[in-house]
């Protein structure tokens, strides 16, 4: 990481609610979901290479180099822009994998934006979001960097200004496969469609939660534990569960009362992604 010339955050997200409203002919599910970012996440380092190679240093266990979404995002951007440049990349992984807090998708989005900046491509957010969608349904919201109501498979985004509470996120020690939950026969796929002006009071619900709770006792236990203190919900297809608090100390207090078997972290909800806050700073510096 110390050889990097650019260091950027890859924040987590929460799905404050997740409604499944239908299923497309290709098997993908139509969703309505509310995304907000957290000021907690992975960190990526970047350095341009003149030889065109893409090299990620420090692999994550279980994810081969060439399958890592960081490497795939870098190669996709290389192809799309026909740049002769490459990059060395470093990843400081803090986000649990398969946690429903979007770590892989956020790493991919930070890679697209970081390399667009370093390679001086100026492709623009629309094009980068379109490339991001090829890597995963959650990548576009991280590319655009605004809390949003999302529809379709997650690519139709309406940016929103939401309250920015503190969240306690508990991390059950299990990885939930998104594909497994979406293919579950018992998953309900008929929540009525809502309008962005009619967002549910009190937070809405997550259609994946009952499926995951029934299949993963670790998630069920985490919800039971957190529900003793706050209205607990699951994010994405799990495994992480969360509750919101008006301030940090209330969130920290509950975090300290959870058993050691259930790790957790506290973080502020953000309507502007921490990644975009840093990029805006770089643009302002370049103008000055
Ligand atoms: C459910 C959500 C909500 O934020 O979150 P996560 O729990 O994964 O973070 C996402 O839409 C997930 O997005 P992402 O994790 O990028 O999923 P992808 O890699 O695109 O898809 C993984 C698999 O899940 C199924 N899938 C995914 C999205 C969707 N709208 N319908 C689906 O049926 C497909 O079988 C697909 O092969
Ligand atoms: N850079 C990456 N970080 C995390 N996971 C990655 C990455 N690249 C590829 N993956 C794969 O994507 C899967 C989903 O990861 P992640 O985005 O963290 O979970 P979720 O979609 O549940 O939030 C992982 O289990 C892993 O196999």
Query: Mind listing the pLDDT tens digit for each residue in 155-207?
Result: 899 999 999 999 999 999 999 999 999 999 999 999 999 998 878 776 789 99
> Looking at the predicted structure, is the pLDDT value of residue 214 above 80?
yes
> How far is the centre of ligand 2, averaged over its atoms, from the C-alpha of 250 (Å)?
30
Ligand with minimal distance to 178 CA: 1
Which positions are annotated as active-site residues? Answer: 13, 138
The reply to whether ligand 1 has any atom less than 6 angstroms from the CB of 99 is no
The reply to whether ligand 1 has any atom less than 6 angstroms from the CB of 29 is yes
pLDDT at 2: 80
3-state secondary structure of 274: helix
Query: Mind listing the pLDDT tens digit for each residue in 1-21?
Result: 889 999 999 999 999 999 999
User: Which residue has the CA at smallest separation from atom 19 of ligand 1?
Assistant: 136
Q: Is 181 exposed, middle or buried (0-12, 13-18, 19+ CB in 10 A)?
A: buried
Domains of the chain (ranges; CATH) run 6-160 (3.30.230.10), 166-270 (3.30.70.890)
29, 66 contact by CB (below 8 A): no
Length of the chain: 288
The percentage of residues in the chain with a pLDDT greater than 90, rounded to a whole number, is: 89
pLDDT at 283: 82
ipTM of the complex: 0.93
DSSP state of 143: H
209, 227 contact by CB (below 8 A): no
Q: Which secondary-structure segment (H or E) carries 89?
A: strand 86-92
Please check if 234 is assigned to a binding site.
no
pLDDT at 168: 98
């Amino acid at each position: 990481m110390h050889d990097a010339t650019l260091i950027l955050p890859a924040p987590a997200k929460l799905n404050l609610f997740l409604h499944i409203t239908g299923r497309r002919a290709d098997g993908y599910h139509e969703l309505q979901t509310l995304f907000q970012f957290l000021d907690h996440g992975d960190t990526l380092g970047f350095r341009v290479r003149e030889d065109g190679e893409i090299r990620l240093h420090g692999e994550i266990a279980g994810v081969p180099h060439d399958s890592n979404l960081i490497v795939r995002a870098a190669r996709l951007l290389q192809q799309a822009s026909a740049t002769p440049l490459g990059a060395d990349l470093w990843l400081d992984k803090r986000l649990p994998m398969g946690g429903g807090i979007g770590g892989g998708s956020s790493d991919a989005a930070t890679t697209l934006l970081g390399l667009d900046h370093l390679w001086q491509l100026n492709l623009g957010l629309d094009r980068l979001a379109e490339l991001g969608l090829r890597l995963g349904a959650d990548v576009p919201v991280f590319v655009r960097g605004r809390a949003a109501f999302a529809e379709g498979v997650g690519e139709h985004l309406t940016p929103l200004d939401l309250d920015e509470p503190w969240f306690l996120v508990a991390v059950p020690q299990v990885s939930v496969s998104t594909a497994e939950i979406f293919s579950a026969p018992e998953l309900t796929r008929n929540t009525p469609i809502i309008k962005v002006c009619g967002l549910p009071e009190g937070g809405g619900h997550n259609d994946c939660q009952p499926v995951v709770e029934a299949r993963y006792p670790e998630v069920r236990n985490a919800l039971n534990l957190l529900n003793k203190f706050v209205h607990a919900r699951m994010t994405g297809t799990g495994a992480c569960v969360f509750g919101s608090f008006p301030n940090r100390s209330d969130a920290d207090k509950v975090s300290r009362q959870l058993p050691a078997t259930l790790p957790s972290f506290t973080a502020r909800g953000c309507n502007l992604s921490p990644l975009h806050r840093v990029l805006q700073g770089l643009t302002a510096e370049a103008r000055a």
